[in-house]
Amino acid sequence: MRIMYEKCAAIDVHKKTVVVSPRWTPEKGEVKTEVRTFGTTTPELLAMTDWLREWEVTNVAMESTGEYWKPVFNLLEGEFGVILVNASHVNQVPGRKTDVTDAEWLAELLSYGLLKASFIPPKPQRDLRDLTRHRVNLVQERARVVNRLQKVLEHANIKLASVATDVLGVSGRQMLAALVGGESDATVMAELAKGRLRNKKAELEKALTGLVRDHHRFMLAQHLGHIDYLDEQVEQVSGEIGQRIEAMSQPPDSPTDANTPTDKSGAEPTEPARLSWSQCVALLDTAPGVDKRAAEMVLAEIGINMAQFPNENHLTAWAGLAPGNNQSGSKRKNAKTREGNRHLRQLMIQISWAATRTKGSYAQALYRRLVGRRGKKRAIVAVARSLLESFYFMLLRGEPYQDLGSDYFEKRRKTVSVDKLTKQIEKLGYAVRLEPLTPQPIPA
């Protein structure tokens, strides 16, 4: 086989140690290799880097082992061509993996160019991704605390959630504050209702009549304070995300775009994106089910330069929204969706549920078309994949979302729809005669 990298190395990453195997593969001559183990502390990793320099290594490969590969990648990035390998891809390559160490086997595969690099975004995008994922964790924690608060209310025989849609709305929050403050008169607390909730004062009086003890008041105060703290944290993180996006939207100081992968990252050079990050956020905001926060999260995962994905199918497969390939001969069997970016997959499912509730949208029509015969879960995954493909072309072309409309499938299958409706009317005992409508002249 042709040698792609004459001087390369591979690293088998563990929690406390890394096994490094540099490899020299000259066109003529004996292959030279060596295996050495280093610790994972920064001084030991720096010693490993110096050792790789002595071997004049140009490219390094390592498997994506949990979070343990990141400290190694931080020191190698920018100096070596680092290839992060998916472990499942390596296992599919036949070889002598049971007879040699993982590092030696990876180094041999790398020298022949048989390893495929995983997508690793640049540092600014990785930092933005950490912030958006942290915000998701805060929002999820807030939802858990709200459920705990509701549990305390049930223990105290307070049925506020049965009357008020949002327990933590303006009215509900004032009632809870009065309850924590020692108020026990349900009539007084019901008077705190605002807006349309005042029409339910009689029901509120019944719902706010309970067996509230000092223990319940203490627990409610604790949960409300925790919710306020989480709300403050979410606002701070959202503000930081906005600042990062604005900073990333500024033109780079150097001719090389910060969002453009270079040869050192292990990926092929690509052209810089035409739109800035702020413009891309506004662009995705035009799609159904997407708001500013969701757009920020999508871009943090996939970036703004779609040249890093060969086509839309690669993006959907990377997100875990593409069906698996289970085909034998001419028979194609059902297969689960592939594993991918679980954060992006979860986000796209949430966006899709919101999009299906947009009246007159293509997403709603697609969901209704599939849900009857494929079920809710498969239908919503299909909608998520369709929307992600739309995002790909929106970012690639710099164009806003263009909805195909809820009647897209009827227009595409006009003849089939007409025949189906005609047969339904004939079954009811009516004769049907169809004539095309004459276009009416447009008045001057």
SS (H, E, C) the chain: CCCCCCEEEEEEECCCEEEEEEEECCCCCCCEECCEEEECCHHHHHHHHHHHHHCCCCEEEEECCCCCHHHHHHHHECCEEEEEECHHHHHCCCCCCCCCCHHHHHHHHHHCCCCCECCCCCHHHHHHHHHHHHHHHHHHHHHHHHHHHHHHHHHCCCCHHHCCCCCCCHHHHHHHHHHHCCCCCHHHHHCCCCHHHHHHHHHHHHHCCCCCCHHHHHHHHHHHHHHHHHHHHHHHHHHHHHHHHHHHHCCCCCCCCCCCCCHHHCCCCCCCCCCCHHHHHHHHCCCCCCCHHHHHHHHHHHCCCHHHCCCHHHHHHHCCCCECCCEECCEECCCCECCCCHHHHHHHHHHHHHHHCCCCCHHHHHHHHHHHHHCHHHHHHHHHHHHHHHHHHHHHHCCCCCCCCCCHHHHHCHHHHHHHHHHHHHHCCCCCCCCCCCCCCCCC
Q: What is the pLDDT of residue 64?
A: 83
Task: Output the pLDDT for position 94.
Answer: 65
State what percent of residues in the chain have pLDDT above 90. 65
CA distance 357 to 364: 6
pLDDT at position 95: 64
pLDDT in tens, 70-85: 999 999 998 899 999 8
pTM above 0.95, yes or no: no
Q: Which regions in the chain score pLDDT beneath 50?
A: 254-273, 444
Residue 262: its pLDDT value, please?
41
CA distance 400 to 215: 54
* pLDDT in the model for residue 255: 42
Query: Domain map of the chain by residue range?
Result: 7-111, 125-249, 263-397
pLDDT, residue 282, reads 95
What pLDDT does residue 268 have?
45
Does the 7-111 domain belong in CATH 3.30.420.10?
yes
Quick one: pLDDT at residue 264? 41
What pLDDT score was predicted for residue 365?
94
